[in-house]
């Protein structure tokens, strides 16, 4: 990996540095976030995107929240500011569960630090919050590596893999989720090629996934989203691997709009469909995909691109950012703790209790 999509620079008074994904592939630009408003905008406008990367960025956002006079001169005021900014950042995007998971974890850590030491100072609290954000970032890097190790077995020499949207290093703090098995298979010397759906309306597949794979030396071709079915009909796709932004208790998975269509095409053509995602993507409070909140984005993303109008003036557009793939159409969910084959509520519940029982390499050393 030749870059870090999300990186903290300095100590408690440092700043968050992000690869501005709105500018790729034409320009590789780093965006500096020195306050939570800049970070909120970065998440909202997709300068940083991908469920794991959003979670890590949000964790560091609470470090930013405790900088300067806004944080207050007492632990009580500092905790109040942390809670306020956590709620603000949580409102930036509704679907990616890692955002809420990271913010909840950061708040719990801050509360534990105060509860365990009645003499805690504001500076000590800030140090504890930074340490927890660093831990979340480091865990994400390791999570990506392990997903790659568990998932590379699904990529055979000479295979052709289809992926949708971007779930690589740009979407995480490490080497990615859906792309991680590809990177690991490539390191082992396997030769294969990848078809990257362009991923309308913001072209994350064409702009980001193709860029990442090309940087890694993996053969990649961009296709329009509506070409995937015909490629499968020709027998040119051996497997589909995508990421996920939220996985319900029964295994239904929300991912970038268009993923559902790909899953149906894969089922009809006998192509195995895999999801690669960290354990933090599971949301057991949601029974099925029907209850996953789906972000609706501005119509302008569909009616124009890069400032160029692509639809008649006055025409509206429907623009959900995600859709839901049913568990029945998922061959396996690849996580950092093992592989859940034919996922359903029972298997997922068992996995979360004891990942070593799952199919594939045991995760006892996790």
Residues forming a β-bridge with 195: 162, 221
Dihedral, CA atoms, 314, 316, 321, 327, nearest 10 degrees? -160
The SS3 call for residue 157 is coil
Angstrom distances, CA of residue 271 to CA of 196, 212, 353: 16, 24, 30
**Please, where are the H alpha helices in 193-327?**
204, 210-216, 228-233, 259-268, 300-303
Cα end-to-end span (Å), the chain = 23
DSSP state of 223: E
Residue with tokens 């690869």: 19
The SS3 call for residue 15 is strand
Report the 10 Å Cβ neighbour count for 331: 20
DSSP string over 230-255? HHHHTT---EEEE--SEEETTS-EEE
- Please check whether residue 265 is in contact with residue 71, taking contact to mean a CB–CB distance below 8 angstroms: no
* Active-site amino acid positions: 245
3-state helix, strand, coil in the chain (%, to 5): 45, 20, 35
């Amino acid at each position: 990996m030749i870059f870090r999509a999300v990186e903290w620079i300095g100590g408690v008074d440092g700043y968050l540095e992000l690869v501005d994904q709105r500018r790729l592939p034409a320009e590789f630009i780093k965006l500096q976030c020195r306050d939570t408003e800049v970070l909120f905008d970065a998440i909202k406008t997709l300068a940083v995107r991908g469920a794991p990367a959003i979670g890590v960025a949000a964790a560091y956002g609470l470090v930013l929240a405790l900088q300067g006079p806004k944080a207050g001169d007492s632990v009580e005021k500092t905790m109040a500011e942390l809670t306020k900014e956590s709620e603000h950042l949580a409102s930036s995007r509704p679907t990616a569960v890692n955002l809420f998971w990271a913010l909840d974890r950061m708040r719990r850590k801050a509360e534990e630090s105060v509860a365990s030491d009645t003499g805690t100072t504001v500076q000590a609290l800030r140090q504890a919050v930074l340490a927890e954000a660093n831990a979340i970032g480091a865990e994400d890097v390791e999570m990506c590596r392990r997903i790659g190790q568990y998932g590379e077995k699904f990529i055979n020499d000479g295979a052709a893999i289809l992926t949708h949207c971007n779930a690589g290093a740009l979407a995480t703090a490490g080497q990615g989720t859906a792309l991680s098995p590809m990177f690991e298979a490539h390191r082992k010397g396997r030769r294969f090629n990848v078809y990257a759906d362009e991923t309308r309306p913001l072209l994350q597949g064409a702009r980001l996934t193709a860029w990442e794979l090309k940087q890694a030396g993996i053969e990649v071709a961009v296709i329009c989203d509506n070409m995937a079915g015909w490629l499968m009909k020709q027998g040119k796709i051996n497997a589909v691997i995508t990421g996920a932004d939220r996985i319900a208790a029964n295994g239904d998975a929300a991912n970038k709009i268009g993923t559902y269509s790909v899953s149906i095409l894969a089922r009809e053509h006998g192509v195995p469909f895999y999801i690669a995602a960290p354990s933090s993507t599971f949301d057991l409070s949601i029974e099925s995909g029907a209850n996953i909140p789906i972000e609706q984005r501005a119509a302008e993303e569909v009616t124009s691109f890069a400032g160029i109008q692509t639809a008649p003036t006055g025409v509206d557009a429907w623009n959900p950012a995600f859709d839901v793939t049913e568990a029945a159409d998922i061959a396996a969910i690849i996580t950092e703790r093992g592989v859940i084959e034919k996922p359903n509520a029972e298997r997922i519940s068992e996995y979360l209790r004891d990942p070593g029982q799952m199919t594939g390499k045991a995760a006892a050393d996790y």
